[in-house]
Structure 1
Amino acid sequence: MTTTRSLTLAALLPLAALALTGCDRISLGDASPDQRARQTTTVTTTLMPTPTGAAEPTTTAPTPTPEQGAIPPDGAGAYAPVDASRFQLAQPSSVATYSFSVPSGNIACFAGSEFICEIHDGPSDSPEESRCGLYDGAEKPVRIVGWFNYDKPPCSTILQGTWRDPGPALNYGESVAMSVSGAQITCYSSTEALYCTGPQNYGFKLSRTEFYRSQLS
């Protein structure tokens, strides 16, 4: 009997020890990790845009500037074309079929067998090469400019005689094209100046302070 009880106690002792050990692990929280368990780690990430290529530089389109020497410098498209009949003279002469003025009244132009613009308050001088040569040494100040002869470039000279009556105004921002004596004349009215183009691809600018002509490309 004694031997049997000893064997029974000997068999129970390992089980008790195992139970106590298991209780200690649970209550104390020092259990060793199970190497077979899958460990889960939570990672917080911030998503950044994925670059698709080099960044495009930010550019501002340049403001168009007037082309030096162009007539008109801001381009013909900046002017609204009007019908030439608006400026047709009721009593045309051999010299003039059309007549118009600028809104200020300072310039009046006449188109026919010649194209001439008269300016009351004009430049005190003009380039010598662009003078008409009608009055040698006496073509200052500028009072008349245009084509006295369509086979030659436009030129400037002084006024001999009286001012002619002006025609209707070619408003600022308007243009007019006139066909006269086989020549095509187009003028553009702006607050800066009057610009006209004509035969042989010549053009000129006329204002209170400046007259210049150029042969357009």
Structure 2
Amino acid sequence: MDRAADTPDPDSTASESPASRSNADPVLRAESVTVERGGRRVLDGVSLSVPADARLLIRGPSGAGKTTLFRVLGLLEPPTSGEVYVEGRPTGSLREGERAAVRRETVGIVFQDFQLVPDLTARENAALPQEHARGNRDPDWLDELFDRLDIADLAGQYPATLSGGERQRVAIARALANRPAVVLADEPTGQLDPDTAERTLSLLFEAREATGTALVVVSHDRSLLDRFSARVRLVDGRLDE
């Protein structure tokens, strides 16, 4: 069964992205995705669809396969079988370099452990996707992101000098640097205290609305339920009916 995250944001004021994506079409779609490791099915026939205006929470207990699904949707790991479509394009036959190009141009990723480069400043980390993009660099957009995420005064600092919440916001800026069609975030509040987590999540939503991008968050945190207009639950590698 194909699960569609098709409930629009009732209060969204986001404008369309530069690509003029249609909200009627999914920017990301998984079709019968299965991942097997060591004879075990980590994901078992998962299908879901993410429209351009989606704010989707993928939840489930530890060990349910959430991070594996995150990696597959983010083109970081190919499925054993099934297909992932990005803006209607099948990705299963792409070579790694081609998959990396799709990630860079179309999919923004926020990792649970941030994965910032330690010897680059916050600004340099956030600019990495633009450094390798096909289009022109847009330093003004990065300035706007740093302002929106309240980290403009941290642009010249290195990750080791930043708090967990500050590093998370730099990771969000990096994910949004190329105005992707969809942002995927793996447990974005998992390493933060409750107050910082709430602030960071609110900033992520605000930045998402500024870009008009779809947002998919993977988390086991039940406190996030009311913040999302669409939700699915993963149990033992399957979407729970």
Asked if these proteins are the same fold (TM beyond 0.5), I'd say no
Band of TM-score, shorter chain: under 0.3
Select the structure with the greater relative contact order (CA < 8 A; seq sep ≥ 6).
2
TM-score of the aligned structures, taking structure 2 as reference length = 0.23
Larger Rg: 1
